[in-house]
């Protein structure tokens, strides 16, 4: 899954693809580099991010989704917590809703997901983007994340979302201490996979990588991002959400070839 942020303030590439032409070119580039899914977002969910009104988010996302759909057959995902944005994006050609709130943001989120009939990614986040990194706490991060995701999957199915449409995401970096929580969660990914749903891992360029490498900036975390992607593959995740598609595809191809040999 290639990350396509049509935002001004995303932690790694904020502002680079706010221009529609630049965003379209980047999306097509990632599809050509081997992305199976493009995750289009119009609102940053980095720690301390400023919320974006729904109409502005729709204006950023929908034309881009429509343009990509007209030019490529790649699967399109909308990265949003707002049901109205998801509805507009699906109408424009998206077939997946990636929600960092696991369909908890709005009273009609669950019903909207059921009505749309699209694939849905339920992500774990302790708190909300503005304050989630203030003081995250867990007694057993893997057990608590797994229990949360299992409960949200049950809630989605109870609302009418088909089981085969549900994906899970442990939410690396969302309400988790850089190393004290993220590393055990990555080490315990097999317990999330064991829940029986496809798992999406989003660890690309996250701050825990910088914390392990002398506070390396976001654009200097490729090696760590690939290491996390390979750890996810070894644990059985179905997809990795990344900024650097070509390099990650290459790494996964070599890793797979070695495993098959």
Cβ atoms of 186 and 137 within 8 Å: the answer is: no
Closest Cα partner for 200 from 238, 248, 173?
238
Closest Cα partner for 100 from 163, 34, 172?
172
Residue 49 structure tokens: 């991010």
Residue with tokens 């199915």: 157
Q: DSSP label at 99?
A: E
Q: Is residue 221 among the annotated active site residues?
A: no
First to last CA, the chain: 26
Selected catalytic residue, list 46, 87, 206, 221: 206
CA angle 59, 64, 229 (to 5 degrees): 115
CA angle 107, 110, 115 (to 5 degrees): 120
Give the CA distances from residue 246 to residues 104, 177, 216, 249, 253, in Å, rounded to whole numbers and listed in that order.
34, 29, 21, 5, 11
Q: Is residue 152 among the annotated active site residues?
A: no
Closest Cα partner for 90 from 99, 98, 78?
78
Give the CA distances from residue 78 to residues 44, 86, 192, in Å, rounded to whole numbers and listed in that order.
13, 7, 23
Annotated catalytic residues are 206, 241
């Amino acid at each position: 899954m290639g990350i396509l942020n049509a935002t001004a303030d995303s932690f790694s590439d904020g502002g680079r693809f706010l221009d529609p032409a630049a965003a379209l070119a980047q999306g097509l580039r990632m599809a050509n580099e081997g992305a199976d899914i493009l995750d289009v977002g119009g609102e940053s969910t980095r720690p301390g991010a400023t919320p974006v009104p729904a109409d502005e988010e729709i204006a950023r996302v929908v034309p881009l989704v429509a343009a990509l759909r007209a030019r490529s057959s790649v699967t399109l995902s909308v990265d949003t917590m707002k049901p109205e944005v998801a509805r507009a994006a699906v109408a424009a050609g998206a077939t997946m809703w990636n929600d960092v709130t696991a369909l908890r943001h709005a009273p009609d989120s669950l019903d909207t997901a059921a009505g749309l009939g699209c694939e849905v990614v339920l992500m774990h986040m302790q708190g909300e983007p503005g304050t989630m990194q203030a003081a995250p706490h867990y007694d057993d991060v893997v057990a608590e994340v797994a229990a949360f995701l299992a409960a949200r999957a049950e809630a989605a199915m109870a609302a009418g979302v088909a089981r085969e449409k549900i994906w899970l995401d442990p939410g690396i970096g969302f309400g988790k201490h850089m190393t004290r929580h993220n590393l055990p969660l990555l080490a315990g990914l097999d317990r999330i996979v064991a829940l029986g749903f496809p798992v999406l891992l989003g660890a690309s360029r996250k701050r825990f990588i910088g914390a392990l490498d002398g506070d390396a900036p976001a654009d200097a975390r490729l090696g760590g991002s690939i290491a996390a992607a390979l750890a996810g593959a070894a644990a059985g995740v179905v997809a990795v959400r990344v900024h650097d598609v070509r390099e990650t595809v290459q790494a996964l191809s070599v890793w797979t070839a070695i495993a098959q040999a």
